[in-house]
Amino acid sequence: MRPFDLSVPSQLMAALGPELLLMGGAALLLLWAGWGRSSMQRQRAVGLTAMALTFAVGVYVVWSLYQVRSATGGPIAVDNFRWLADVVILLGTLFALALTIDDNARQQLATAESHVLILFSSSGMMLLAAAQDLMIVFLGIEIMSIAVYCLAGINRRSARGAEASLKYFLLGAFATGFLLYGMALVYGATGTTNLADIAVRVSELNLGHSPLLLIGIAILFIGFGFKTASVPFHMWTPDVYDGSPPSITAYMAATVKAAAFAALLRVWMEAFPGEFRVWQPIIAGIAIATMIVGNVVGLAQKNVVRMLAYSSIAHAGYLLIALAAASSQSGSTVLFYLLVYTLTTFGAFGIIIVLARGTDRPVMMEDFTGLWAVRPWLALGMGFLMFSFLGLPMFGGAGFFAKWYILQAALQAPVPQTTLAVVLVLTTVVSAGYYLYVVMVMFMKPRPEGAAVPAPAPMLTRAVVVISVVAVLLLGIVPEQVVRLARAGAMKPVATVQAAPATVGAVDQ
């Protein structure tokens, strides 16, 4: 098929089809959600419709993937990486909606708006995955973040939710300031916001050592570091994750992070390949710090959600390795890792929702004690998911292949990142301390006398948990199909982008 000509408005609209469908649908759903008195039935109906809409957008995205259309240079990218990132985002959105419907019902929240906010946020994420222009990146991040700020405090009766929301909003706004300032500096140095053009200008005008540009890149990373929860911009994570409703926490931990990583990878690989030597050691250092802090502090947690918050920081560190490697494998590695991470995270939070028993109290490690004796299936599922986070083969299913892929990308990089690989495995050993602690209390401790038995999980939550556990285990045995798909999402490695600036430059007249 002919590539999209993005200078023609109608073609630009067509290239943005899935995003527009999601946004338009969400706007209509908002009308329905806000119409009349809110009730539990309406909350459920809106939620289910939102799931149907998400599924439809997902079909659209997969259809677009198989169309294999490209686009001329412009503000958005039309490539496999975008579509595959969209698939991961939409999968997370489906899971988040399913968990939120049940969680709202259990907490007696008749807020149909939460589903609409999730859809808006997801459309922002899809925009991020598509963005090939710093302005679109900013737009995507803002659409995504503002909706998530509200979602964090969607339970108005919860003081912890309000605290989380406010904290997230204030710090998020601060980080957005950095992001915007960084973009402004990059624009100031290169005179363009288009990612491909930035790369071209940098190499043509010999801006490699321009302090304006380098400071801009550094400040831009602070903005991204906040969204991806990388050390030292991670401080908000445990508090916000702990206070938000668990379904939203899973959404923040997995899907928001997926979108932020997709954009981070694209911006760095496409716009700043020329400064590779400058940012690579810094990103590598941040990856090391993130892995160490996430895993070591995770050891001390007694609250399961806070433990998973530090675990999510650690996983951000693993993902940064793929960026620091900057190899042809980085894109597919990140996609595969995010898919597995999304499945595992939503499964684990689904189980946490069951254990929270519809209350607003934090779920502690003790709640898992002796779970095997009373709810063996739940304990088994959680056990598999913990092994997946840890990355053990077979018992941890796809979690192992995700780590394997990262190791492979690190060692296959133009400059092999052996140190990062070794830090990855050593911090993984540290993480065994808390993942296996959960397994240990579930299977090796007796159930305390008088501890309440968790009620059976509602249908949708159960479906999310079952689907994620089964998918993780299946992918752990036969990953080939998914790997092949992920490899289709490979990005151009930094070296080749550097080598071929002339062809892209022709567009910039």
Partner 1 sequence: MNQFLMSIGYMHWVLPALLVIPTLGALVIWADGLRFRGQPEGDDVVSGKASSPRIIAFTTLLIEFIVSVGLWWSFDPTLVGWQAVFDVSWIPSWGIRFHLGLDGISLIMVLLTTSTMALAGLGSWTSIRKKSHTYYALLLILGMGMLGVFMALDLFLFYVMWEVMLVPMYFIIGIWGSERRVYASMKFIIFTLVGSLLMLVAVVYLGLHAKSPITDIPNFDYDTVLRTVHFTPTTSLLLFGAFFMAFAVKVPMFPFHTWLPDAHVEAPTPGSVVLASLMLKLGAFGFLRVAVPLFPDAAMNDTVRTIMLTLAVISIMYGALVSLVQPDFKKLVAYSSVSHLGFVMLGIFALTVQSVQGALIVMINHAISTGALFFLIGMLYERRHTHVIEEFGGIARVMPMFAAALTFVTFSSIGVPGTNGFVGEFLVLIGTFRTYPLFAFIATLVVIISASYLLWAIQRILFNALDKKINFHIPDLNFREIALLVPLMAGILWLGLYPKPVLSRMQVSAEHFVQSVQTRVLNTVAEGND
Which spans of this chain sit near partner 1 (rule: CB under 8 A)? 373, 387, 392-395, 400, 404, 407-408, 411-412, 418, 421-422, 425-426, 428-429, 432-433, 436, 440, 443-445, 479-480, 483-484, 487
CB of 416 to partner 1, least distance (A): 8
At 462, list the tokens: 């159960």
Give the nearer residue to partner 1 in terms of CB position, either 221 or 387: 387
Q: Where are the alpha helices (DSSP H) in 391-479?
A: 398-412, 418-444, 459-475
Q: Return the SS3 of 4.
A: strand
Give the span between the Cα atoms of 229 and 346, in whole angstroms.
Answer: 18
Give the nearer residue to partner 1 in terms of CB position, either 38 or 412: 412
Give the nearer residue to partner 1 in terms of CB position, either 48 or 495: 495
Q: Return the SS3 of 449.
A: coil
> Which residue, 258, 414, 449, is CA-closest to 329?
414
Alpha carbon of 503 to those of 20, 208, 500: distances in Å? 31, 20, 6
CB of 333 to partner 1, least distance (A): 12
Give the nearer residue to partner 1 in terms of CB position, either 171 or 411: 411
Give the span between the Cα atoms of 357 and 78, in whole angstroms.
Answer: 44
Alpha carbon of 51 to those of 77, 118, 220: distances in Å? 26, 10, 34
CB of 419 to partner 1, least distance (A): 10
Is residue 111 within 8 Å of 104, Cβ to Cβ?
yes
CB of 404 to partner 1, least distance (A): 7
Furthest C-alpha separation in the chain: 75
CB of 54 to partner 1, least distance (A): 29
Q: Is 175 exposed, middle or buried (0-12, 13-18, 19+ CB in 10 A)?
A: buried
User: In terms of residues, how long is the chain?
Assistant: 509
CB of 402 to partner 1, least distance (A): 13
Give the nearer residue to partner 1 in terms of CB position, either 246 or 370: 370
Q: Is 463 exposed, middle or buried (0-12, 13-18, 19+ CB in 10 A)?
A: middle
CB of 87 to partner 1, least distance (A): 18
